[in-house]
Amino acid sequence: MIKLCVFDFDSTLMDGETIAFFGQAVDKMDEISAITKRAMAGELDFYESLKERVKFLKGVEVAKIEQIAHSLPFIKGAEQIIKYLKEKGVLVAVFSGGFHIATDHAQSLLGFDINFANELHSKNGVLSGEVGGEMMFGDSKGKMLKRLKGLLGLDSKQVAAIGDGANDISMFKEAGTCVAFCANAVLKSAATHIIDIKDLTELKKIL
């Protein structure tokens, strides 16, 4: 029986990539999206690609980023699937290579239990182009899931993980049920289940 369900955020719960939406503020959405696409396909080191993408945001006002973060679109079924899991007594976590400014707000709307992400560094209300946090590396999600399992006394068969990109592979290694959701080929090869319909309520057939 599943007791912990971990979701990726970008392109899994949220419809798109947070940093690409932020890129609209500096008219760099295309450049950022191109780097993100390669990173999620496993072609680039996640840490290096994250730093490179965040540099584009240097000089943007935090208030502008917050405004964008609070208007991100969710994938169809996001709210329903979290409600469904919570009603079953499942602890729901979000692991994001993106940013707390987006995931914290999403938590207040969707009702998941906890989230781990990164922080955009700022000074005097303006982004510095630097980033730090809990999900900086390609293997960060796996390491965090391993810690959570230890804290909660869970084994892999009690854990489900849902994601779409290469940086979700490490958490798949710590979960018994691994769902590649509208995912890159590199993640599909590591999954126990594949969903290619862009509707999170499809997870009810698995979880």
141, 135 Cβ separation under 8 angstroms: yes
Question: Which amino acid, one-letter code, is at 135?
Answer: M
On the CB side of 21, how many CA atoms lie within 13 Å of its CA? 22
Which residue, chain included where needed, has tokens 């917050």? 66
Smallest Cα–Cα separation from 96: which of 72, 79, 118, 112?
118
Does residue 128 sit in helix, strand or coil? Answer: strand
Q: Which two structure tokens, joined as six digits, stand for 9? A: 């955020």
Q: Is 199 a catalytic residue?
A: no
What's the gap between Cα 137 and its chain centre? Answer: 13
Q: Is 30 a catalytic residue?
A: no
81, 72 Cβ separation under 8 angstroms: no
Say which of 10, 155, 164, 168 is annotated catalytic.
10
Query: Which residues are catalytic, by number?
Result: 8, 10
